[in-house]
Structure 1
Amino acid sequence: MPHPCPACTAAHCAVILLNYRNAPDTIACLRALAAMPVQPGKIIVIDNSSPDDSVKRIMAAWQTSTEPVLLREEPAHAPLLPTSATRILLARSTNDGFSAGNNAAIRLALQDSECKAVWLLNNDTDPEPDALNALCQRMSADPQPGIVGSTLIYAHNRSTVQTLAGGRLNSLLGTTHSFGGGMELPEALRQWPQHRVEQQLDDIIGASMFIRRATLVQTGYLDEAFFLYGEETEFCIRVRKAGFNFAWAPESVVYHKEGGSTGAESAAEGRKFRRPAWVDYLSLRNRVYMMRKHYPWALPLVLLSYLGVILNRVRRGQANRIPLIFRAAWDGLRGRMGKPDHLFPALRDTHENSGH
């Protein structure tokens, strides 16, 4: 079981933002972080080899308020953490997905022995000024939580909850149920008090994931095989197996644009189902792979449930995706993971993304 550790404060935390062709959102998030009365010890922005001028634009905007250090990561040469640097832009030479980008920043942050926690925060979020401090306070309250989640609220409708930290994993199907999702915030808080959420919480959404250093040391980092989608759920499974539990800081409020940068517009415009085919493929493939890895005995049920997925796509006028669903299941079963260039070569140029 986890052992007690010293109190966690913002000064001993590293905030990690992952950018891919989305400099405006990243810059806006950095401004929100700069407005916090208690500043994080480090902020690390990773650019996942954006083909546009993201690095230049982020550096220019950031330099108006602080002195960021620009580092470049080459495939065979992981950068060293500069002495006394607190604001870092890490420019990667490749885009290997959400996990790989965040892992590069985590490795950099943990080079600092004083770093006690990292906050994986989507760049398309707007955290309230006390969001980080609330996470630190909840992490410091007891030694058991390996990860703490925030109150995530839709940015396009700031009275509606996306999730209260995360949700519950169905180990039979590999699906998750979000706590408070779609509810008005006061009603969600009434129906889901903190003790009830934390009793059931086993899947924290990756848009705001506050991770204790000991969790990463004991459990390892995000699984880079996923490329995008499902990696935080798989990580939470490993964290739970390592003996940690999960917590929620209700006062850590983060507004989330949810999927706008991937084109998965499931939250906006009346919550219509508008996922691109490649997002559909990755979500379905990664679920099968995750279940194969952790709950192989449940695979027959998971595959049977994909018949329901097929019916849903037919109902939505997407019958042309049926072959893709079979391909996703087959690739997940045989472990053909990573970036799906074999099916979506255009991801390299037009649709590739690394956010949630």
Structure 2
Amino acid sequence: MDLSVVIVNYQTFELTKNTINSIFENECSFEYEILVVDNASSDDSLAKLKEYFGDKVTFIASKENNGFAAGNNQALRIAKGKYVLLLNSDTIVWENTLNNIYNYMENHEDVGACGCRVVLENGELDKACKRSFPNVKNSFFRLFHIPTKSKDNDYNLDNLPDYEIYEIDCLTGAFMFMRSEALNQSGFLDETFFMYGEDIDLCYRIKKAGWKIIYYGESKITHLKGASSKKQKSKLIYEFYRAMYIYYKKHHADESSFIVNIVVYIGIAVLCILKLFLNLFKKKD
């Protein structure tokens, strides 16, 4: 098997169906399998997906929802591919994207993970598809929307072109095309993260293991993210800031002073509380 495509479904029959169909509709030059993990959906999306796709897709039913990382790991444990693609259930894969990135990985054996240009439904770039690793400084600039011309302080790499190919630090979990050898060396997704931050953490460990991470801007997918102006579930906001805390404590706390750590932890808590408060006044979906 050349590629194992892993998709986590949680009550998104139509979205997951469209994502899978976008793969089947384009001819691939290699052998692949599609593994769908259902994260204990309480609707009938799993049954409907099984009925729609039959044995063309391998389905794994979780007994409980332990998060995005845990869901993906269930499929990763049985994936047979030389490469693994983590793909969000709310994406559309464009023609030749998988072929192009597969061929690039075949020709660049030092690359452990590769992402593509991720475009939102409105045509704008999903900035999470090419990032620097977060640190105290670039996170401060980003969170408070302070512009910077320094590459070292540019978390979203706005200074780099969107349509070219180059090495970066971090991809988005919406599309991570990884070499299984690199994944086995770095370890699977950290299940301490529920649904945010696990992609950054995994990229960090892949690079630490000596592999390159590449942004392949010549190919793309569409990511159907929800509008940021809409009301979010409080748990999602909490998990977003909790992921910040987990990542910082795991990778940066030991190299920072006690005072810096306290400031960071307090800052994360304050931002989380503020976001939860502001969310109360947003319109529901």
Q: Is the counterpart of residue 41 in structure 1 residue 32 in structure 2?
A: yes
| CA gap 1:168/1:302 in 2 versus in 1, 3 angstroms | farther
- The Cα of 1:166 is off from its aligned counterpart by 2.1
Give the Cα–Cα distance (whole angstroms) in 1 for the partners of residues 75 and 42 of structure 2. Answer: 20
1:99 and 2:69 are equivalent in the alignment? yes
CA contact (8 A) 1:174 1:291 kept: no
SS in 2 for 1:147: strand
Equivalent residue of 1:52, what SS? coil
Q: Which of the numbers 127, 130, 155 marks the counterpart of 2:96? A: 130
The residue identity in structure 1 corresponding to 2:205 is: R
Deviation string for 1:145-185 (max 9, x for gaps)? 11101100002x12x1113732111333684822349xxxx
In structure 1, distance between residues paired with 2:233 and 2:251: 28
CA distance in 1, matches of 2:135, 2:261: 10
- AA aligned opposite 1:318: F
Q: Which residue of 1 aligns with 2:236?
A: 279
Q: In structure 1, what is the Cα distance between the partners aligned to 2:115 and 2:279?
A: 37
- Alignment match, 1:230: 197
Q: Which whole-Å CA distance do the structure 2 matches of 1:89 and 1:97 have between them?
A: 17
Structure 2, unaligned runs of 5 or more: 143-154, 281-285
SS in 2 for 1:17: strand
Give 1:212 deviation, angstroms: 0.4
Secondary structure of the structure 2 residue equivalent to 1:246: strand
Deviation at 1:103, TM superposition (A): 0.5
Between the aligned partners of 2:60 and 2:279, the Cα distance in structure 1 is 40
Superposed counterparts of 1:35-74, under 5 Å: 35-38=25-28, 40-63=31-54, 67-68=55-56
**In 2, Cα distance between the equivalents of 1:307 and 1:164?**
22
Question: Between Structure 1 and Structure 2, how many residues are aligned?
Answer: 262
- TM alignment of 1:1-356, pairs within 5 A: 12-38=2-28, 40-63=31-54, 67-68=55-56, 87-109=57-79, 112=80, 115-155=81-121, 157-158=122-123, 160-163=124-127, 165-172=129-136, 175=139, 177-180=155-158, 188-189=161-162, 193-195=164-166, 198=167, 201-258=168-225, 260=226, 265-266=227-228, 272=229, 274-296=231-253, 297-298=255-256, 300-301=259-260, 303-305=262-264, 306-307=266-267, 310=270, 318=277
Contact 1:120 1:210 in 2 (8 A): yes
Q: Secondary structure at the match of 2:84?
A: strand
AA paired with 1:285? R
Secondary structure (helix, strand or coil) at the match of 1:189 reads coil
C-alpha spacing 1:257/1:121, structure 2 compared with 1 (3 Å): same
Structure 2 distance, partners of 1:281, 1:104, is: 24
Whether the 8 Å CA contact 1:151–1:164 is kept in 2: the answer is: no
Could you tell me which amino acid in structure 1 is paired with residue 10 of structure 2?
Y
Q: Quick one: structure 1 residues 99 and 317, their matched pair in 2 at CA, closer, same or farther if it must change by over 3 Å? A: closer
Contact 1:15 1:40 in 2 (8 A): no
Instruction: Give the counterpart letter for 1:304 in structure 2.
Output: V
- Flag the 1:304–1:230 CA change in 2: closer, same or farther, 3 A: same
Q: 2:66 and 2:268 mapped to 1: Cα distance?
A: 31
User: Percent sequence identity over matched residues?
Assistant: 27
**8 Å CA contact 2:26, 2:96 repeated in 1:** yes
What's the CA shift for 1:294?
Answer: 1.2
Q: CA deviation at 1:274?
A: 4.1
Contact conserved, 2:237 with 2:272, CA < 8 A, in 1?
no
Deviation per CA, 1:48-77, whole angstroms, max 9, x where unpaired? 1111111111112214xxx33xxxxxxxxx
Distance 1:164 1:233 in 2: 10
User: How big is the shift at 1:252?
Assistant: 2.5
8 Å Cα contact 1:162/1:180 also seen in 2: no
Tell me what 1:341 maps to. none
Rounded to whole Å, the distance in 1 between the matches of 2:233 and 2:59 is 30
Query: CA separation in 2, counterparts of 1:92 and 1:313?
Result: 32
Cα RMSD of the aligned pairs, angstroms, is 2.8
- Seen in structure 2, the aligned counterparts of structure 1 residues 145 and 57 have a Cα distance that, compared at 3 Å, is same
Shift in CA distance, 97/300, structure 1 to aligned 2, threshold 3 Å: farther
Deviations 1:252-274 (A, max 9, x none): 3100012x3xxxx42xxxxx374
Structure 1 residues 293 and 174: alpha-carbon distance in aligned structure 2, compared to 1, 3 A threshold? farther
Measured after TM superposition, the shift of residue 141 of structure 1 is: 2.3
